[in-house]
Amino acid sequence: MNTNISAWAIRTPLPSILLFVVLTIIGLYSFVRLPITYFPTVITPSVRVTIEQAGASPAELEIQVTRLVENAIASLPAIRRLDSMIDQGRSVTTVEFELGLVTPDRAVDDVRDAVSRIRSDLPAMADEPLIERLEEDSTSLVTYAVLNPDMTVTELSWFIDDTVTRALQGLPGVGRIERVGGADREIHVELDVERLQALSLTAGTVNDMLLQTQLERSGGRSEVNGNEEVVTTAAAAETITELAGRRLALDGESSVRLSDIARVRDANAEPRAFAMLDGSEIAGFSVYRSGGAGEVAVATAVAGALEEIRTAYPDLQFRLVDDNVSYTVGNYHAAMSSLFEGAALSVIVVFLFLRDWRATIVAAVALPLSIIPTFFVIGQLGFSLNILSMLAITLVTGILVDDAIVEIENVVRHRNMGKSARRAALDASDEIGLAVIAISATIIAVFAPVGLMSGEVGLYFREFGLTVAIAVFFSLLVSRLIVPVLAAYFMTAGPPKDEENGRLMRSYEYLLKMSLRHPLLTVGTALGLFAIAIVSLASLPTAFLPEEDMGRLTLTVELPPGATLDDTRAATDDIADRLRGFEEVRGVFVRAGASMTGQEDVRHAIVLINLVHKSQRERSLSAIEADLERMLAAFPDLRLRFLNNRGSRDVSFALLGSDGDAVQAAANAVLREMSADGDFVDPSSDNIAMRPELRVIVDTDRAAMLGVSPAMIAETIRVSTIGEVDSRLADFLDGSRKIPIRVIIDPVFRGNLPALQLLTLPAAGGGQVPLSAVAGIRFDETAAVINRMDRLRQIEMGTDMAAGMTSGQGLEKLMTLDSVRNLPDGIHIRTTGDSDSEGDVFESFVPAMGAGILLVLIVLILLFGSVLAPWTILASLPLSIAGVTLGLVLGGHAVSLPVVIGILMLMGIVTKNAIMLVDFAIEREAQGLGRMEAIVEACSSRIRPIVMTTLAMVGGMIPSAIGIGDGGEFRAPMAIAVIGGLLVSTLLSLIVIPSLHLIMSTLGDRLTWIFRRVFQSAGG
């Protein structure tokens, strides 16, 4: 079959040429349309359930809402994680399903059905559950500040909400627009407490009156003069002055003007967040992409739309303050540069060995013909041009030229025999056909099971592995259909001069013969080396991902409970001023009002520190971070933490349990032990956050006697201090814009306890009762937020590790702490963030590697028609482990996701040397040579293509191993692991594989003799 395919291509070259012309065209077309992202696009089936109940405390919501929702959802199949966050008046439950087992649409439907079944059990005051699918990325692509000296912050905020959002929301790939900072316009009706008491009014009553009177509503129909007319009731005030002069009806026939009991003014909503850029408050917006969209395409479309807006509004400026796309673009360009440089090095290796420019051109042509069609297939699979798929194509460069090298070298060898170019191409392709197919088939077989892996980490394996397998498949087609044609019709020059064996070759043959005289010693030595390598590899540090220098640091700021927004502003301003004193800091962007986990609280802030590009500074990211940490030690009352690029710490975990107090006590014990160990840097625990509160203690007997319900007391206090919920606010119409009218007591009275006690409460009989008559007020504290995971109370903990320690080492040390090993009954520990993903990496690697090796064995047995020969070939796999370990040790890299993927890649490519040796030795032995002579001749004949292909692959990976450019920290560990394994495996294979083949062949002969005697005896 192999002969027929190549011979057919040589005799009728046009179909093969036209096939690859078509593949190249559609490949180039697909390449320009592929989305560019940093990591593979992960569309996780996640659903969020939000239920709001105005005025409800977190503890109350946990019992009455959250637990009911969690129990209803927990019965659904394929749930990976169930999280809840409960703060004042809001419960948010997020359920994440297993990737690949449940579709996003099915996930939303299942959750909606589950929640609808318990809707009647929820409190009557709770709003309708909001159920939404989480489609967009959790990290914004770009954040812009909107600047105009002639517009106030409020006007800029409305411009963002109205004009900018409408212009961007319809762009392809834009998932969500979120305003950053700014202010919302409101009409404030600030009530005088004393006047309310005198008139027996409450804030709720005034709000209801405005809701009933401030309206313009269509209703009814009439016919006038034969024409049908719509009847509209108009009662809305058109100006603030008119609204202030509006009369409100009191009991009987009396009334009062709104301005007599309140101050009415055009104001801003009470700020609960802010954004600062280099010391100036800004209003801006963040853009999030929808699942599957390309980062670069979305960012480019947004920039184009903003340029159109700026053209329409010349005084407006858009300033990019946070950018997650530039690094993606830099990684893409760096990967493309590594691809071209690696391809050039591979081609140079071919020329240096063959010294034939025609043969070199043939090898060079094989590269694009293998790579370009790959883009078409990965586009059909929904892949993107990301750090993994581009790394796969970059590292596979040397492999792609490998098949062509084997074919070309064999053609050159046959030309040296005096054959014509056509005859040499026919004979060489026939002779080497099985080896070429076996080499490609083993690589494809290793990565085939990867396509069946599930989960987010499995997606990383799958996108890398299938890209490699697809490219190798096209390389096989090129080597079988195009290279023989080019060899027959292009390599027509005279045969190169046959050179005698040099000193290195003679030394190798001597060493080979010595090892063949003592095959058991040779193989035993290799096994000992393998054992040492396994022990060394197991002792290497581990991590989820290498730490990359993206030119940015993320600092979280947490103030003590009770801190105000002004306190947060003062603290972050001081921090930002000090940060800007560092020469590497290019800008400081502060977002206050929420934590990284989404907890909305004025005492939380996030500081993004933008640095100059790593190519323009001398110090590394870790050195700068360490320097900043020393400076920030001057803020003892603040909790300051640096997070990695994924918003996590080096080691992150959670303690879970049903008893919140017990979980808190266990967390405190773990934290104390970690703080006493110098290997853990700044360990922290997100304890159940407590905030100060004014507790209104109701005298229920007195309230019952006066006809005042506790619910009415709570509602009156809530409406008086923060206003009614947005859905129950009257609206002021300013053109086409609706502005909410918020009724609250004058801020002067809000912080005055005697004034609060004067608030009047409606009684059942129609009268009014002062708050002081039915309740007292005292100072206390309450939980600000409650976090839950898998229906248990959760306390998140984390720590950074001392210099020289990786996250994997930190996690191992954490598990040895006495407080962790002796957790109380009912409390358990669970890794989160990167620590959780790191465990998934190694759990996914073992079955993937096992399945890949098994499939390789099956393929080799089928190709060679032998059970023993494939085992000899598979012996190349353990020989590569020593090289992997040596490379990682010398490079100072931990065993991380890219390294694990690189080891998986090695399992496919290191068998090529053994395949060429064993295949040639079996063929020569079948032609009548003695076993020892056949092995020696196979090694002598195959050493040049083995060294050539190895050096070509190494050359293709050298640019990635150097790690220059954006994303270099991710590419380098994988390339170093593969290069180390490939070089050591090649050196050992040239000595160990021949000895092992000799042992296995002798064993096969004896087994054949034994079975023949057994069958003959049975037949006799």
Model confidence pLDDT, tens digit, residues 323-353? 888 888 888 888 888 888 888 888 888 788 7
Each as own residue / partner, the long-range contacts of residues 501-508 (CB below 8 Å, 24 or more positions apart, any chain) are: 501/940, 505/940, 505/943, 508/939, 508/943, 508/990
The answer to whether 817 and 660 have CB atoms below 8 angstroms apart is no
DSSP state string for 797-866: EEEEE-TT--HHHHHHHHHTSHHHHTPPTTEEEEE-HHHHHHHHHHHHHHHHHHHHHHHHHHHHHHHHT-
- For residue 495, the 8-state DSSP code is P
Q: What is the pLDDT of residue 49?
A: 92
At 725 the three-state DSSP class reads coil
The answer to whether 569 and 755 have CB atoms below 8 angstroms apart is no
User: H or E stretch including 887?
Assistant: helix 876-891
- For residue 676, the 8-state DSSP code is T
Q: DSSP 3-state helix, strand, coil percentages of the chain (rounded to 5)?
A: 55, 20, 25
- For residue 823, the 8-state DSSP code is P
DSSP-derived pairing of the beta strands 174-181 and 283-289: antiparallel
- Pick from 321, 277, 275, 329: nearest CA to 298: 329
Asked if CATH classification 3.30.70.1430 holds for the domain at 44-134, the reply, yes or no, is yes
- Pick from 259, 328, 369: nearest CA to 21: 369
Q: What is the pLDDT of residue 110?
A: 92
- Pick from 797, 753, 803, 794: nearest CA to 775: 753
Pick the CATH number of 549-639 from 3.30.70.1430, 2.40.50.140, 3.30.450.370, 2.30.33.40: 3.30.70.1430
Q: What are the per-10-residue average pLDDT scores of the chain (1020 residues)?
A: 68 88 93 88 84 83 91 90 87 87 87 91 87 76 89 90 90 88 89 83 85 79 78 83 86 83 88 87 88 84 92 90 86 85 82 78 85 92 86 79 74 75 78 76 77 68 83 87 82 56 74 83 84 82 80 87 88 90 88 81 88 85 86 84 79 88 88 86 74 80 83 81 80 84 83 78 77 82 81 87 80 87 88 74 74 80 78 80 87 84 79 78 79 81 80 82 81 88 85 82 76 65
Q: How far, in Å, CA of 192 to CA of 459, rounded?
A: 62
Q: What is the pLDDT of residue 3?
A: 44
For 153, counting Cβ atoms within 10 Å of its Cβ (0-12 exposed, 13-18 middle, 19+ buried), the class is middle
Angle at 314 between CA 308 and CA 319, to 5 degrees: 70
Q: How far, in Å, CA of 14 to CA of 848, rounded?
A: 40
CB neighbour list of residue 799: distance below 8 Å, 6 or more residues apart: 649, 650, 651, 674, 680, 681, 682, 683, 684, 810
The answer to whether 558 and 599 have CB atoms below 8 angstroms apart is no
The answer to whether 324 and 139 have CB atoms below 8 angstroms apart is yes
For 758, counting Cβ atoms within 10 Å of its Cβ (0-12 exposed, 13-18 middle, 19+ buried), the class is middle
Q: How far, in Å, CA of 848 to CA of 446, rounded?
A: 8
Q: What is the pLDDT of residue 2?
A: 43
Of the chain, the end-to-end C-alpha distance in Å amounts to 40
Positions of CATH 3.30.2090.10 in the chain: 185-218+232-268+691-783
The answer to whether 788 and 70 have CB atoms below 8 angstroms apart is yes
Positions of CATH 1.20.1640.10 in the chain: 356-494, 502-539+866-1019
Q: How far, in Å, CA of 358 to CA of 491, rounded?
A: 6
Token pair for 507: 């030394």
Q: How far, in Å, CA of 165 to CA of 179, rounded?
A: 9
At 632 the three-state DSSP class reads helix
Q: What is the pLDDT of residue 208?
A: 86
- Pick from 566, 399, 544, 470: nearest CA to 910: 399
How far is CA 252 from each of CA 39, 44, 211, 258, 769, rounded to the nearest angstrom? 70, 61, 20, 17, 19
CATH code, residues 502-539+866-1019:
1.20.1640.10
CB neighbour list of residue 307: distance below 8 Å, 6 or more residues apart: none
Q: What is the pLDDT of residue 309?
A: 92
How far is CA 596 from each of CA 604, 655, 796, rounded to the nearest angstrom? 9, 19, 13
Q: How far, in Å, CA of 565 to CA of 985, rounded?
A: 62
Token pair for 528: 């000992």
The answer to whether 875 and 914 have CB atoms below 8 angstroms apart is yes
Q: How far, in Å, CA of 805 to CA of 264, rounded?
A: 61
Q: How far, in Å, CA of 789 to CA of 601, rounded?
A: 21
| Beta bridge partner(s), residue 115 | none
Largest CA distance in the chain: 125
- 628: number of Cβ within 10 Å: 21
Per-residue b or e along 650-683, where b marks 16 or more CB atoms closer than 10 Å to that residue's CB? bbbbbbbbeebebbbebbebbbebbeeeeebbeb
What Rg value do the Cα atoms of the chain yield, rounded? 36
User: H or E stretch including 533?
Assistant: helix 519-539
- Find the length of the chain: 1020
Q: What's this model's pTM, rounded to 2 decimal places?
A: 0.79
Looking at 34-103, list the stretches that DSSP marks H as alpha helix, in order from N- to C-terminal side: 58-61, 67-74
Which amino acid type is present at position 290? Answer: S
Token pair for 961: 């191993």
Q: How far, in Å, CA of 410 to CA of 941, rounded?
A: 9
Which amino acid type is present at position 323? Answer: D
Q: What is the pLDDT of residue 27?
A: 93
Q: How far, in Å, CA of 92 to CA of 132, rounded?
A: 11
List phi, psi (to 5°) of 193.
-60, -40
The answer to whether 667 and 799 have CB atoms below 8 angstroms apart is no
How far is CA 763 from each of CA 207, 248, 414, 652, 835, rounded to the nearest angstrom? 18, 20, 107, 53, 57
- Pick from 833, 825, 810: nearest CA to 654: 833
- For residue 727, the 8-state DSSP code is G
Pick the CATH number of 356-494 from 1.10.3760.10, 1.20.1640.10, 1.10.645.10, 3.30.1660.40: 1.20.1640.10
- 185-218+232-268+691-783: which CATH topology? 3.30.2090
Q: How far, in Å, CA of 823 to CA of 656, rounded?
A: 11
Positions of CATH 3.30.70.1430 in the chain: 44-134, 549-639
Q: What is the pLDDT of residue 498?
A: 52
Which amino acid type is present at position 450? Answer: V
Token pair for 847: 């079955």
DSSP-derived pairing of the beta strands 768-770 and 775-783: unpaired
- Pick from 602, 653, 591: nearest CA to 785: 602
Q: What is the pLDDT of residue 502?
A: 61
